[in-house]
Amino acid sequence: MPIDFENELNEAQREAVQTTEGPVLVIAGAGSGKTRTIVYRLAHLVEQGVDPAQILLLTFTRKAAQEMLNRAETILGRPLTGTSGGTFHSFAYATLRRNAADIGFENGFTLMDRADSENICKEVKDNLKLGKGDRSYPKKGTLLDMITKSRNKEAPIEVIMEKEAYHLSPYLDDMNEIATGYAHFKKQHALVDYDDLLFLLDKLLEENEPLRNQLQARYRYIMVDEYQDTNLVQARIVKQLAGKNGNVMAVGDDAQSIYAFRGANVQNILDFPKIFDGGKVIRLEQNYRSVQPILDLTNEILAGAATKFDKNLYSDLKSDKLPEVVYPLSDQTQARLVVDQILELKKKYLLHDIAVLFRAGYQSFPLEVALTRIGIDYQKYGGIRFHEAAHVKDVLSYLRLVLNPHDLLAWQRALDHIKGVGPKTVAKIYQAIHSGDEKYMAKITKKHEPLRELLNELNGLRSIERRPAALLERISAFYQPILIEKYPDDYPKRQAGLEQLNQIAASYSDMEQFLGDLSLDGDPEDEKRKENAVVLSTVHSAKGLEWSAVIIIDLVEDRFPSRKAMQRAEDLEEERRLMYVACTRAKECLKMMVPSSVYNRASGMSDPTLPSPFILELPNNVFDKLNESYGGGLEKKRHAPSNSYTSPSYSKPSSTTQNHAAAKPDPKQLGFCKHKIFGKGKIIARPEPNKYKVNFPGFGIKTIIGDYLELL
């Protein structure tokens, strides 16, 4: 029975399926039936008489490839025997095994797994006598991460370190030495890692013309899924296999390229029409996931992208409810508001059909505490659960000992960083403290100076006011050098989590309540639970998933987009794509939280925030705005008739018109103005075009972009 294209596919999908000759790029917007299109194209090729053995399907997971092949077989009603479907790495491995002698492995090679590679890095480091006695030396996993990122991004380790791990820069020379030694060790022992598979295949295809011609003749039809996630070497492999005008179909969405940190290069998909002459671009724009108001908003997010394939997502799913932009008074009240929203949404949706998304794992910590407090289960993806984070447990062990000096587990945790003090010694110290054995304590503290320091600190903690925030303030200062020494590889990231812990503590007056709410014991069954648990997820971990209701939190500068991303244009572009991915996870309900202030532990006060540029760019007609009132509820705000203002730093391309809600200050007139967060102020200077120094009572002098100010 012939395939029913008319009823099973929309017009754009049909065009993609039936365009079988020459290069084709399918730009598949979020929720537009990308997998369905690939599956039907597989079936269509075979139905047209193409030998299944002449089809090569490259994906990023074996599961995805297998699912596509199985579905195509179901449509055809017969097996696709001979079709090559799998990951880039599995295809490379099979090809290299058959041609091992051509890449210098006369007797074959052994493929290593991650653990093997880490162990070799350690062996090379030890043989080079590097890091001896340095407890802060990067761990073997971190050494391998830097080497593999350098290879996948095809950039020196120095460049990777500067962007992602500046705190490791004292070890740059060592890392370069280890990377060289690691490569030499592999070659010497006929070993290959996962990165080698791709680079060796690329080299083989480039240098072995007969083999390249043979593979091009065999694989007459090539399909690549998630093309926006390919790195430079993967794109070269596709080009070598397809030839300049080969029958290659790449499917992906430039707007969902969010894995630059793994080496993905968005230019691969953007440059596809240039790389493959005569390449046809087909856009899948009908969305089958989200209601139209959500798509109207996501289309506006994409409109601000500097470089993109134009697309306009639309849906037959209608709704008269707009997405909501909610302004909590602070990040401290944000968690309570999100819980309120979840309780409301729970009346309509199952808990596991509600998701809260965030840019970084630590941002959900206050929410985790709030959910635990009222007994709502949650499941977290991306980032570690708050009460499971080792550095959080470390710090809380001091608090537990202030509250209960008989807590043996807390003693074990608090003494864990002291070299030479293991579980048996901890037990002796515990016994000596509680039996008053001053002789033993004098002896052991003389032997271990850090132990003396810790005991003095605990004594000091017991003598101050027992407010969680005050205690944590002091503990943080004491723990900082321990954090750096104990977790040298990623302490800046862990520091952010501890800042959140301090912030949570600020809202407590009772220490027992604070420790109880943090639920230190956790639930070992949590990770298995799927049903009836709210999903908390980083946006990266949410890609490819969907929920009826989605709440995105912390949509302010320095949090989303992240502080690092604000420094470079290409990083900010990726943050925009991340925002698009976050919003397109929602099927029916989308809420975005923009806290108006963020707690500053140093001052003990809240600092005003600037909303995320992606929120500021949105025209007023695509969302409803709600402000948290001082009484704790939400008040709907009417919009001004014009569009919301946009900071010039993040302005949309000139083709998109932007109206400003308020008149810009006249540079010749240094009078009074109003800012939505700082309130009324006096303009005192204009340091550069469209930037003004304003004195705000209570906040001091601030330098503000003119678009954020309203003349009075």
The mean pLDDT value for 100-109 works out to: 86
In this structure, which amino acid lies at residue 596?
A: S
Contact present, 263 and 153 (Cβ < 8 Å): yes
Enumerate long-range contacts of 596-599, CB under 8 Å, 24 or more apart. Answer: 596/327, 596/328, 596/329, 596/330, 596/677, 597/329, 597/330, 597/331, 597/677, 598/330, 598/331, 598/556, 598/559, 599/330, 599/331, 599/332, 599/503, 599/506
Q: Can you tell me whether residue 567 is helix, strand or coil?
A: helix
Given this model, what pLDDT does residue 642 score? 38
* 613-667 pLDDT tens trace: 999 989 999 999 999 887 777 787 755 443 333 333 333 333 332 333 444 445 4
Query: Is 298 flagged in the annotation as binding?
Result: no
Query: Is 31 flagged in the annotation as binding?
Result: yes
The mean pLDDT value for 8-31 works out to: 93
Q: pLDDT confidence of 406, banded at 50, 70, 90?
A: confident
Name the pTM for this structure: 0.78
Query: Is 74 flagged in the annotation as binding?
Result: no
Range of lowest pLDDT (103-112, 340-349, 670-679): 670-679
Contact present, 619 and 644 (Cβ < 8 Å): yes
Given this model, what pLDDT does residue 112 score? 86
In this model, does residue 3 exceed pLDDT 50?
yes
Structure tokens given for 546: 């969907």
Given this model, what pLDDT does residue 537 score? 94
Instruction: Please state, in angstroms and rounded to a whole number, the distance separating the CA atoms of residues 591 and 339.
Output: 13
Given this model, what pLDDT does residue 1 score? 61
Instruction: Please state, in angstroms and rounded to a whole number, the distance separating the CA atoms of residues 691 and 688.
Output: 5
485 vs 54, higher pLDDT: 54
* 456-514 pLDDT tens trace: 888 888 888 778 888 888 898 898 888 888 888 888 888 888 888 887 887 787 787 78
* 279-299 pLDDT tens trace: 899 999 999 999 999 999 999
* 584-622 pLDDT tens trace: 999 999 999 999 988 776 676 778 888 999 999 899 999
Query: Is 586 flagged in the annotation as binding?
Result: no
Contact present, 560 and 404 (Cβ < 8 Å): no
Enumerate the β-bridge partners of residue 379: 535
C-beta atoms surrounding 238 within 10 Å: 22
Instruction: Please state, in angstroms and rounded to a whole number, the distance separating the CA atoms of residues 432 and 428.
Output: 6
Given this model, what pLDDT does residue 698 score? 61
Strands (E), 499-609: 534-538, 547-552, 586-593, 597-600, 605-608
- Pairing of β 634-637 and β 624-628: antiparallel
In this model, does residue 526 exceed pLDDT 50?
no
Q: What percent of the chain has a predicted confidence (pLDDT) above 90?
A: 43
Query: Is 32 flagged in the annotation as binding?
Result: yes
* 166-214 pLDDT tens trace: 888 899 999 999 999 999 999 988 899 999 999 999 999 999 999 999 9
565 vs 143, higher pLDDT: 143
C-beta atoms surrounding 63 within 10 Å: 10
In this model, does residue 23 exceed pLDDT 90?
yes
Q: Where are the domains of the chain?
A: 5-96+197-286, 123-189, 324-382+522-636, 387-484, 672-711
Strands (E), 53-208: 55-59, 84-87, 110-111, 191-192
Quick one: which H or E segment has residue 646? Answer: none
Q: How many residues does the chain have?
A: 712
Given this model, what pLDDT does residue 252 score? 93
Q: Show the DSSP H helices in 636-708 as ranges.
A: none
In this model, does residue 216 exceed pLDDT 90?
yes
Task: Please determine whether the domains at 5-96+197-286 and 324-382+522-636 fall in the same fold group of CATH.
Answer: yes
Buried b (16+ CB within 10 A) or exposed e, 495-517: bebbbbbbbbbbbbeebeebbeb
Query: Is 30 flagged in the annotation as binding?
Result: yes
* 657-705 pLDDT tens trace: 233 344 444 545 578 888 766 778 888 888 777 778 888 776 667 777 7
Given this model, what pLDDT does residue 262 score? 85
CATH code for the domain defined by 5-96+197-286: 3.40.50.300
420 vs 236, higher pLDDT: 236
Average pLDDT, the chain: 85
C-beta atoms surrounding 104 within 10 Å: 10
CATH class, 324-382+522-636 region = alpha beta
Range of lowest pLDDT (118-122, 196-200, 203-207, 518-522): 518-522
Query: Is 28 flagged in the annotation as binding?
Result: yes
Given this model, what pLDDT does residue 524 score? 38
Q: What percent of the chain has a predicted confidence (pLDDT) above 70?
A: 92
Structure tokens given for 659: 């109206």
Given this model, what pLDDT does residue 118 score? 92
Structure tokens given for 526: 């949590």
The mean pLDDT value for 578-586 works out to: 95
What are the C-alpha distances in Å from 261 to residues 491, 513, 578? 18, 40, 13
Given this model, what pLDDT does residue 699 score? 62
* 411-445 pLDDT tens trace: 888 888 888 888 888 888 888 888 888 888 888 88
Given this model, what pLDDT does residue 314 score? 94
* 58-79 pLDDT tens trace: 998 888 899 999 999 999 888 8
